[in-house]
Structure 1
């Protein structure tokens, strides 16, 4: 089983022989992600403003489509996380390589790790379906959701275009978090309710992901400034700013969604103990 998995995720000819060629590889032109992002934002605006009619699906059909969508992303996230881990273990010349690609043209965007980075990049375009499902279900659409889904496409393109150091760590971390997230979404869609604390835990796991990325960046920066430099620093700078902005937005969302609720619950409990029947003043 392990040998078959390794062959499929690392040694398969399509994986092992992958090479990112600008203008030739699928979606490798800078105009491609730019066009996708612009089209996404324009479509979201037109649908949100009801300029374009929203498709209408019966509740049962909408649940079926949502379940299939979440199932695909759950399986894909697991495959990307496992594929990148196995690929890095099989091809990395040293542990340092996972954090810091050699600079000066010594690193080519080729091989199994970059294959999974390319799959990851393409998967972010498929994830735009999350937004459509939210709109079709007539649920509120947040700035955090739209901003994240749009800019992450540019980030993943830069991973490949700049051969960004730290990319394997970021890919595995993000894909692993998405395994938990889409498992939660899938269960909710199927009516399998997790304990309420799990919804909060999914958000906090995403926050921990960004904090971990900054900790890993410290290791990468040490290699860059003290041990000969790292490839793709321009891409890393964009990634760091993006992650910082996401961390701020997730913390704001967490505070609005959970801190205020916890404060209200505490107040209600106090009022109940004071004989007010649990009602707020």
Structure 2
């Protein structure tokens, strides 16, 4: 068991690629400001064109389409699991010995540099959000019933989270370990659900996925408040200016998810469904 844990720690924290990782703006792939801008504009343009102007075939009954959906969801489920475990282990490894405050407040003086295993997993999370764009394609090519799931919430969430991921790294933003670990943990559950759906077994715990997402957003806002407490009562926290975007983004998502939850999981809706 000790050897197994040692190997897990090496491959998720101690490997030189991870332990010596450093975000360098203009040098690291995806680190320029232009990269997320072009990525998001391309995503929105393709999504709008396919949704509004293209005549799309219904591939939902094709075995190849179901297989591709299952593989995509399984990859993201396993990647999310690696991020959740890796980010947690990296935080325990990189955290200073003088307290847990570092988890939500990277010191601003001296400046925190975006390097080390914690930021490596933030980088993986950043690119995983681009990989998640395939979710939208699966919805669009899944037939008319599937396309009804393509909402403003879905597109806004997928586009906005890329900006959030970029800011976490570009500003060495405090709370990065919390954001990556909690987001990845929720996505393990979410993509496990979609994988089971893709292989023909639709679980009855879809509501649990939405509940966990809402809890994640509330937890993130509470932790943001804690970070601001550390910032104004101490020597400052790294990346506070970028926190404004991420806090507003999470607050908007929380509002929209609560509305979605109320619309889809109210007692009346469940009663009508049962009838």
Same fold (TM over 0.5): yes
Question: For 2:219, which of 212, 223, 226 is the aligned residue?
Answer: 212
**Aligned partner of residue 82 in structure 1, secondary structure:** helix
Deviation per CA, 1:95-145: give whole Å up to 9, x if none: 111110000352110000000000100110000000000001022211000
Distance 1:205 1:191 in 2: 23
TM-score (structure 2 length as normaliser): 0.92
Query: Is 1:158–2:163 an aligned residue pair?
Result: no
Distance 2:157 2:271 in 1: 32
1:56 is displaced (CA, Å) by 5.6
Question: For 2:66, which of 47, 63, 66 is the aligned residue?
Answer: 63
Query: Is 1:95–2:100 an aligned residue pair?
Result: yes
Query: Is 1:256–2:266 an aligned residue pair?
Result: no
Name the CA shift for 1:265/1:209 in 2 (closer, same or farther; >3 Å). Answer: closer
Deviation per CA, 1:36-72: give whole Å up to 9, x if none: 0000000000000134x53664521111010000000
**In the alignment, which residue of structure 2 is the partner of 1:117?**
122
1:85 is displaced (CA, Å) by 0.4
Distance 2:124 2:8 in 1: 17
**Aligned partner of residue 29 in structure 1, secondary structure:** coil
Aligned-residue Cα RMSD (Å) equals: 1.6
**In the alignment, which residue of structure 2 is the partner of 1:126?**
131
Q: Which has the larger radius of gyration?
A: 1
Distance 1:147 1:183 in 2: 22
Name the CA shift for 1:264/1:31 in 2 (closer, same or farther; >3 Å). Answer: closer
Name the CA shift for 1:97/1:68 in 2 (closer, same or farther; >3 Å). Answer: same
**Aligned partner of residue 157 in structure 1, secondary structure:** helix
TM-score (structure 1 length as normaliser): 0.90
Moved over 4 A (4+): 264-269
* Unpaired runs of at least 5, structure 2: none
Aligned residues: 265
**In the alignment, which residue of structure 1 is the partner of 2:81?**
78
1:219 is displaced (CA, Å) by 1.7
* Unpaired runs of at least 5, structure 1: 270-277
Distance 1:87 1:224 in 2: 23
1:222 is displaced (CA, Å) by 1.2
Question: For 1:54, which of 56, 64, 76 is the aligned residue?
Answer: 56
Contact 2:70 2:198 in 1 (8 A): yes
Distance 1:10 1:194 in 2: 34
